[in-house]
Structure 1
Amino acid sequence: MWFSESGRPPLPGSRTVCGYALQWGVPSAVRPGFDEVFHQGSLTWPDDLPLCRNHERTRPLVTLGNAFRLSATARGLWVEVDTDGVPDGNDLLLAARHGPLRAWSISFKATGERWDRTGDTPLRIVTAARLLEVSIVDRGAHHTTIGILSRMKQAA
């Protein structure tokens, strides 16, 4: 079932896909040998940040603007894409709803981090990072990704 950010079932007809690319403060096993967690407020991004499919940076789908929006909420990094504003938007929408594209992923350059090695698995704590791109992917690196959702206008 598809839900909007409010958690209510959406109305039919949406062409927007959205979800959390990551949640603040929740560790994820993104690489062998260590887990990773982001602090709230740790991410910045350029005005022309690209949205890619499976991290294919040579062929970005769209850059930040009317069709692709990001926001850092109290919960995490929220992503919205209006598929009408994306070349091949129909294919993207179908792949998100019924096909292989089920999650979000980010590429970033950490500019501030520290390590906690007190547990069984070392934990990389990202305190500052610059996003390089956001991708819609088949499997998100952070298990805290809240899949691809369909965001639609709520009934009055």
Structure 2
Amino acid sequence: MSSDAEIRSVVLPVERRADDDGKVTVAGYAAVFGDVADIGGYFDEVIAFGAFTETLKSADVLAYFDHDRGRILGRVSSGTLRVTEDAKGLAVEIDLPDTSDGRDLKALIERGDVKGMSFGFRVTREQWDETGDKPKRTILAVELREVSIVSEPAYDGTTIALRSLDDARKERRRANFNGAALRRSMKLGVDFRQRGI
């Protein structure tokens, strides 16, 4: 995953289904809209409804176990992974492969040892609100890189997210500085005109 990619996890039930052909499918949510998540105590984060709309139109998303790129479980283009956006969030269905990872995951989910899903992404549109006690980031759009079934959900990528907060603050200071400079130049122009200069 690239250096600007972030990872977020959610602990919700991961459900297992089997069909008559022996195919095992796991399903759950990798992200939930509107839930406020504390990101390392630095800020709160919310994923807005529709944040995945654009990326799902063209992304060839992969499914991994524990974000390990060497442990592929499915892929959108092969039809073994289905990722959709519904009213609740980012819904995921993975047809587990008949591999050691697939069989192990099936057993771990059945036992209740593996309970979470996660997703890797890059933010393409966001909004920051610093009026409260803690800054709040609303993610409006992302580039979805991958989804994962995870053994221990955690909010990784905090450093990258903090860099995003710092960038937003710098942009706001730059905009405020430019606005103040414009107001000063307009006031000077008015003063000169009033003096007949």
Question: What TM-score comes out, normalization by structure 2 length?
Answer: 0.59
1:127 counterpart = 2:136 = no
- Using the TM superposition, give the Cα deviation of residue 63 of structure 1 relative to its aligned residue in structure 2, in angstroms: 1.3
Offset from partner CA, 1:82-120 (integer Å, 9 cap, x none): 22x453322111122215321001110001001112222
Partner residue of 2:90? 77
Change (3 A) 1:82 1:132: same
Which structure: greater helix fraction?
2
Question: What TM-score comes out, normalization by structure 1 length?
Answer: 0.73
* Equivalent residue for 1:38, pick from 47, 52, 55: 47
CA distance in 2, matches of 1:87, 1:58: 13
Answer yes or no: is the 8 Å Cα contact 2:14–2:117 preserved in 1: no
Partner residue of 1:49? 61
| Runs (4+) off by over 4 Å | 10-14
SS of 1:90's partner is helix
Residue identity opposite 1:121 in structure 2: K
Partner residue of 2:37? 28
SS of 1:40's partner is coil
CA distance in 1, matches of 2:93, 2:14: 13
1:91 counterpart = 2:114 = no
Answer yes or no: is the 8 Å Cα contact 2:73–2:94 preserved in 1: no
Q: Alignment length, in residue pairs?
A: 135
Residue identity opposite 2:153 in structure 1: G
* Equivalent residue for 2:71, pick from 48, 59, 63: 59
Residue identity opposite 2:66 in structure 1: N
Change (3 A) 1:3 1:112: closer
Residue identity opposite 2:135 in structure 1: P
1:115 counterpart = 2:128 = yes
- Using the TM superposition, give the Cα deviation of residue 25 of structure 1 relative to its aligned residue in structure 2, in angstroms: 1.4
SS of 1:57's partner is strand
Partner residue of 1:147? none
CA distance in 1, matches of 2:145, 2:137: 19
CA distance in 2, matches of 1:91, 1:107: 22
Q: Which runs of 5+ in 2 are unaligned?
A: 1-12, 156-197
- Using the TM superposition, give the Cα deviation of residue 32 of structure 1 relative to its aligned residue in structure 2, in angstroms: 3.5
Answer yes or no: is the 8 Å Cα contact 2:18–2:24 preserved in 1: no
